[in-house]
Structure 1
């Protein structure tokens, strides 16, 4: 379902009453979960958002995120967990667990109970056994490394040891299937979202040991060390002064999780602090950071002492060869502005003028090429006025190309600059966009700049609207996520009115100043391709 990019319609913070209703819905949907597990999945005070989106097949999906990470999604009034860290149940030697067609299932690798995909059983246990474990077993909804996973902190599943064969498998909603990680994540979509029951198994016995056995320390002490390490690593290498104030949930979800060493999983609830807020209070007492509640119930880091000995003495670990390889493959490439050329297409009524130079109808030329062709044509056909070499005599072909009907018998000569200007004006506009390392993309029509406008919504509130980002290789959803963090304001991605297959980003308030910094300084787009920057609020005004 999320194997291809999806389109975000809206992203808003969930209300207290809706949070309670969601907790009740999860309790009803998953009765096997205890109160503590429900509270862990849906925290009482931490940031919780509801995201409305459309997947590539057109289905409308509601996703619930905590700290920027997807935890649940709702499809056709059914809730599905997206947290791939929840332990699944592998097939025990005693046989498959009893499932019915349509039951929610988790798919895990042999030797590791951490699910790598979730889906709905395509057949019952009896049908699976009757088929000899052949055919389609699970209709996959969400997998490790799909686009929904990429919208979070992109953490890897932990290594969770298999259950003792003598243990009972009481969770009906989990089904462990033998499967290759890559085929389950990437190839499932090629078979209409179905995963075959039989796949080549992967030996995970050589995976990293579980955290409760690392260094011989108690689990809580290990997690305290890991929490501090990820915190210092994030402050030293990822968080910049321009990012402040920074939501504490964003610090955790977008920075600290990604600083976790390979093979380990950061879980604050297993630390002595239990909550991120308590850990940050301790860091504030050490005068490393300053935390404030800028809005009710939402804490942000407003200051960082980068000269603090804790930060200056922290040594950023060198990535292993394995992690370097993974990062080179999976890391999103930094945005580089495209090379853009304005071009001109030869229209049907000007074909005769360009025929001698070898260009046919529809041929695309740069402005300098058009000028050279026109100049050569005039000289070759001895059209340069002998008495005034700044004038060009118009032959029948030039008359048909550049003159209006009422000028045909009145205008016989034109200055060079006027002749060239008229030729370019009568040609069809086009442009070529070339992104680094990619083939050029040729498009006919006028190049539209990134358009930034201000609009008034209900209660006379201003919103900033940005259009035409796709032309310049910018993902509207990614830009919206960055603006949401930078501006500390809600963002909405929606279809752009009157533009087919184009999206617009709407940000609460006048955020043109932040947009200008993002587009001009970070993305390094030339200012001539951006219109509306002059509407930024003047210094000293809100």
Structure 2
């Protein structure tokens, strides 16, 4: 929302004491805060400042006496007080939270919304449209500081389906404001707070479930806070502090392992065909029970890491004893054969199985961690590839009949614009002049505006009364002056007049039936003819030559013997040339037909 500078930014003005009291009371009631926190988050000397966003949404920012934006509203007449990142740094438990990998944070700052696959942890009981904070993921019991504020697009159930391995897509949070955006820039800035540690006692205040259940309910008297985390993977490699995590008692371990068995029966064992049984105890334990262990547990002494629990730490001491106890309870059926224990059946209709509340498992947590790591790896690879890639930017400069239109749109006629810039200027102009056809929304009434009509009309054609939106934009660009800019890491950008010309790679027949591959138009891409020719000579094991292009003294032609379209294309791509700017053709067949 604030990825671009604020428009119509008014002068800051102090608000009346009575208005400040009303805002303070509204914040206290909305967020269930104690009075002293209300004074901290809505301080005396509060200032207000009206603004418009780049998408023409009107709002009001409330600033501290030092100038830090603390709250904002969006929409005329809205009284929905939304906290800024500055406010969340003052009181990090103000909103429920979601955590995301470090690689996602820059995308949020750049204006993207948070997608469901990018959620690693989240508070429980989230509902659509609920305000939430977004943090960078750290392994429990650490929690990063809030870096963004947004509204939930889904509820917790959609996130939980993703936690349990389902391929759930779509938006998780519609982001409203982020660290380092243009609203944040109004304040004194500064560094984000360090990740904080959540103690076992902090978590106990919001946990009301039994061991082995990762979803944490929020206490009625406490704000929905970070304590309701669902823990999945390790982002920074750090280990939980032994002083903050409790140790599971043997009874706790037995209870967690029983929950793992119930989960395994519920999720996987009940779906196995009868021919899968009997299953040896060792296979049953390693394949089905251990992967179904909960990611963490609330034990007798508080929150504990349950992922490393072992049967030796339980009251049963051995797998055999555990399985016998489970068979006695009626959860499964056993048979002993030559000293080994075999599981011959499981009972999915047992009341304990039917009443079991599904939990996030070690297996699901590991799978999600691997997905997150793979996604981050691919993103890093794409970033590295992009660093070496040559960037070509098409530009247009106001010219001829388009100059008056840019003047009417109150834009500078001496600068160059990208296609996106021109589209935004055009959409704003059409909207302000109300030129959209009321009968057909895809058409623009160009005939109703003389400057726009002049910008899109051809010299020899009749002036159009209306045109489709895309056709209107195309005509404006066609009547502007074409330029392009080439950028390469480590070199100054080169801007040239005229449209971008692709590199031409053509196979032709020479000297009878001998095919040769000819490469031209590469100079604009910072490529040197002799270097490319030498690399192609080695790569293709063919002779190469560099000659001046006939009629063009400043341009060269590289010749490679043989049909080498694929080899040349691969080499150019490895040099950072986007494939869309390589134009290949084989003209040798046409010659033969003649």
- Do they fold alike, i.e. is TM over 0.5? no
**Could you tell me the TM-score, scaled by structure 1's length?**
0.35
**Could you tell me the TM-score, scaled by structure 2's length?**
0.32
Query: Relative contact order (C-alpha < 8 Å, sep 6+): which is higher?
Result: 1
- The structure number with the bigger radius of gyration is 2
